[in-house]
Amino acid sequence: MAHETPLLTADPRALEALTDVRVLYTDLDGTLVAQGGSVLADAAARPSLVVAERIVEISRAGLSVVPVSGRGRLQLRELTQLLGWDGYIAEAGGIIVHGTGLDYEDRVDTGTWPANVPGTGVTPFEAINGVRAAETLFEAFPGRIEHYAPWQLDREVSLLLRGCLDAAAGQAVLDTLPLPLDLIDNGLLRSYGTLTCRDMPPHAYHVVPKGVSKTRAIELDLAWRGLSRGQAAAIGDSATDLEMADAVGVMVLVANAFGSNGVVSGLAENPRDNVWRTERERTEGWAEFADAWLEAGRRSGDDRAGE
C-alpha cells in the first residue's frame, strides 16, 4: 500500500498545496518523537538534531505547529512550551488550547452530547466514570483491557485505557450505556502492563463523548484561528491520524505508518486524494515533511517577490 500512496516530495500537486499551508497538526509518538519519546533522536533512536533543527526553522519562518495527542493537558502544555509552540489539542480531540502561559484560552469539546450534559460542575471525564464505562469494559473483556497507568490520571474529557480489543466489540459494549460514547483506538503500545492477552499487541484506547475526534478538533481549531482547510496540513502514523485528512488540505503519513493494518485498510476503504507519504520513518519522516514545507514557503515567497 505504501507504494500506492504518492511520495510527498515527488508529487508537484503536493508541493503546490504546501505553499498555502500555515499550520501543521502533528501526532507525537511514532511521528514527531523517536522510539523512547525523544525529539533529539533519529528514526533509530540515535542522538540527532534532525527534528530539533526543523522545529527552529519552522518557527523562524512564522509557521505554526500544533501537537495533537491523546495525552492530557499537563503533558502537552509542558511539551508545547518547551518546543516554542503556541497551542495544542489534548485528550484525542477533547481539549483545544491556545497559549501556554497564564493568559491561555481553552475549549472543551463534548461532541454530540446535549448542551445540558454533563451538567454544571461535572467534567466529561467524571460523567463517563459515572456510567461505569471502564468497569463495564473490564467486566466484558477480563484480562484484555485496563487503565493505562499512570497516564490515566488528571484526565478531563476521556478515559485512557490499554488493551487487546476488537474496537467494534468494545464499541458495542459502550453502546449499552446510558451516555453516548465512542471508543477510539489510538494505536500500538510497547508495554502490556498487567494485561494477560498475548494474541495481539496492546493498543491505547480512549473513551470519549460521542463525536469527539482529532478531525473534529482540527476543524474547530481552524475556525478559531480564522484559517481554511487548505491552509492546514497534518502528519501522523496511525489509522486515527489518517482520519485527520478530512480536516486538512495536506495529509502526510510517515513511512512507518504502513506497518499498521488500520492504516492500510483505512487507505483501501476510503481513498483520499490529499494523502501523501514520506520516504523515511518517524522523526526523519517528520523532518522530510518539514523540509518540503519550508521549501514550498521559500518558493512561494520568491514568486511573490518577482511579481
Residue ranges of the chain whose pLDDT lies below 70: 1-3, 301-307
**Beta carbons of 106 and 80 less than 8 angstroms apart:** no
Please state, in angstroms and rounded to a whole number, the distance separating the CA atoms of residues 6 and 9.
Answer: 9
The pLDDT, as a whole number, for residue 190 is 83
Please state, in angstroms and rounded to a whole number, the distance separating the CA atoms of residues 146 and 125.
Answer: 16
The pLDDT, as a whole number, for residue 101 is 87
The pLDDT, as a whole number, for residue 284 is 97
Please state, in angstroms and rounded to a whole number, the distance separating the CA atoms of residues 13 and 22.
Answer: 17
Residue 94 DSSP label: T
pTM of the predicted structure, to 2 decimals: 0.94
Give the whole-number percent of the chain exceeding pLDDT 70: 97
**Beta carbons of 277 and 255 less than 8 angstroms apart:** yes
Please state, in angstroms and rounded to a whole number, the distance separating the CA atoms of residues 250 and 230.
Answer: 8
Please state, in angstroms and rounded to a whole number, the distance separating the CA atoms of residues 230 and 86.
Answer: 20
Question: In 3D, which of 283, 298, 182, 167 has the Cα closest to residue 235?
Answer: 283
Could you read off the pLDDT of 206-244 as tens digits, one per residue? 999 999 999 999 999 999 999 999 999 999 999 999 999
Phi, psi (rounded to 5 degrees) for 277: -125, 160
Residue with grid cell 486515527, as numbered in its chain: 240
Q: Which three cell numbers stand for residue 120?
A: 454544571
CA–CA distance from 296 to each of 6, 21, 140, 303 (Å)? Answer: 17, 9, 51, 11
Burial group, residue 121, by CB count within 10 angstroms (0-12, 13-18, 19+): exposed
